[in-house]
Chain A
Amino acid sequence: MKKQQNIIHNMIPVFVILAVLLIWELISVTGLVPKYMLPTPLQVGKAFVTDFPLLMSHAKVTLTETVIGLMSGIVLGFVAAALMDAFVPVRKGLYPLLVISQTVPTVAIAPLLILWFSYGMAPKIVLVILASFFPIAVGLLDGFQSVDEDMIRLMRAMKANRWQIFWHVKFPYALGEFFSGLKIAVSYSVVGAVVSEWLGGFYGLGVYMTRVKKSYDYDKMFAVIFLVSAISLLMILTVKIIQYQSMPWQHCKDEIQIERKRG
């Protein structure tokens, strides 16, 4: 009974998406909006298939930029958070700077980065680093600081040194916050890479977007938009899987709750 209900609940978003696609198809087919401005979902699908090899070669570049930038962002964010956690003056000095830096829109600095680092991958990677660094650093720092003061005292009483306290207590406590930050960072990163490609470059989905825009290929525009969002979704899903794998104590807790509810 309950299982059936769950399946129905899980199907709701699928139905909604199908309904939206159907309405869209109807709007285009009936001519409510001219077809050349709003291609039908089927046309978009066709464009995706015919352009698939080209899309993939561009996606490879965008994905490379995103992943390299994200990895660097994680490393830098981790180092910054650990330093801010360990040294109060560093936290006092750096934290406000980090918050202020977030008021500068990434789109605004992208042209500057291109001037500085030319048209290759470098400016895109730097932009992804800038976009992903903040949520990761702040997430980790919040996690490090959320550890119960008594826990630290107990660790000291057990003669743990700073590094041991970090490794056995602070880091695992911060994992949850880290992954929440990482999920935000992933979506920022993909968008950041694409936007910086708009502004100059030779390869990448952003470059492809500006090209098809110039030739008024609306169907290809839609195809690439869907591809970008699919890439974001897949990356977030990957993060979720890694989170699930690396925090086994989290779902063991869920299992107990389920058992208790049943009991």
Chain B
Amino acid sequence: MILEAEHISKRYAEKQVLQDITVRLEQGELVCLLGMSGVGKTTLFNVLSGLTRPDSGTVRLKGEEITGTTGHLSYMLQKDMLLPHKTVLDNVALPLLLNGTKKKAAREQAAGYFSQFGLEGTQTKYPAQLSGGMRQRAALLRTYLCGDEVALLDEPFSALDALTRADVQEWYLHVMETIRLSTLFITHDIDEAILLSDRIYIMSGSPAVIAAEITIDEAKPRGNDFMLSDAFVRYKRRIKELLL
């Protein structure tokens, strides 16, 4: 068990947002937190990353308590958050630079991942010169280079148009095959959750609770065939029933 969040509760003023939420993440696993917009996914995300302190409950990374402290998990948001004034290479190398790596070494190390992440030829470009999909790729590489053992991804692809999103999801599955980053992935997109995850936690209600946990038993990488299969539809039907 690499990340454990147990019995997390959080209330803002009069509103109880999270109620006794427990989620766990195994080494190398990709787990989705699936819920409607506004259910409290991002609040949970903030608790896990340490930006918000929960009213009760603990967050543990490899057994060590990290509740309410930042800097242990890498994260990535819907907005790519690339710095407009840095080239793609310098953006991606930033976490290495911040850790005290020398500029040249940081650049070299980061450049080594460009082809694996499908970012060839973008090194000297500025983020504004890239498409939305490419920017999210660069943001994911930067997240990866933060070097933390767990990555939190908060709806990273939801700002992309449908075709680009499908493309980026396929790319993401492919990259994950090689880097095996333990990832907690927040989404409101049922298809995305089924396609990408090993396990899905379904968050629903107000205050939000974990309504169900579903394991997706399907070999990776998954492609179009899986998305059109009966198994996929069965998962989807079950999740829809649980969400509503």
Contact = CB atoms under 8 A, between A and B. Distances in A.
A168 to B, nearest CB: 7
Contacts of B125: 252
Given A156-B70, A252-B128, A150 B77 contact: yes
B79 A150 contact: yes
A211 interface: no
Interface in A153-176: 153-160, 164, 168-169, 172-173, 175
B126 interface: yes
A249 interface: yes
B83 A168 contact: yes
Contacts of A173: 85
Interface string A225-263: 000000000000000000000011100110010000000
B51 interface: yes
A157 B73 contact: yes
A151 B74 contact: no
B84 interface: yes
Nearest to A159: B71
A158 B97 CA distance: 10
Contacts of A172: 83, 85-86
Given A158-B98, A172-B83, A249 B126 contact: yes
Nearest to A153: B51
Contacts of A158: 74, 94-95, 98, 146
B67 interface: no
Contact of A249 (B70, B94, B128): B128
Contacts, number: 59
A175 B49 CA distance: 31
The A interface is mostly helix, strand or loop, or mixed, namely: helix
A159 B86 CA distance: 19
A62 to B, nearest CB: 35
Given A154-B81, A156-B71, A253 B99 contact: no
Interface string B68-104: 0011011101010101111000000011011100000
B16 interface: no
A256 B79 CA distance: 20
Interface in B38-60: 49, 51
A154 B94 CA distance: 11
B129 interface: yes
A219 to B, nearest CB: 49
B144 to A, nearest CB: 12
Interface string A9-20: 000000000000
Contact of A256 (B86, B95, B128, B146): B128
A160 B71 CA distance: 9
Contacts of B129: 252-253, 256
Interface in A119-153: 148, 150-151, 153
Contacts of B81: 148, 150-151, 154
Contacts of B75: 154, 157
Given A154-B75, A249-B84, A168 B94 contact: yes
Interface of B: 49, 51, 70-71, 73-75, 77, 79, 81, 83-86, 94-95, 97-99, 125-126, 128-129, 146
**CB-CB nearest 4 A-B residue pairs:** A172-B85, A249-B126, A253-B128, A158-B95
Interface of A: 148, 150-151, 153-160, 164, 168-169, 172-173, 175, 247-249, 252-253, 256
26 contacts: A148-B79, A148-B81, A150-B77, A154-B75, A154-B77, A157-B71, A157-B146, A159-B71, A159-B95, A159-B98, A160-B98, A164-B98, A168-B94, A168-B97, A168-B98, A169-B83, A172-B83, A175-B85, A248-B126, A249-B84, A249-B85, A249-B86, A252-B126, A252-B128, A253-B128, A253-B129
Given A153-B51, A156-B70, A157-B74, 13 more contacts: A150-B77, A151-B81, A151-B83, A154-B77, A157-B73, A159-B95, A168-B94, A172-B85, A172-B86, A175-B85, A247-B85, A248-B126, A252-B126
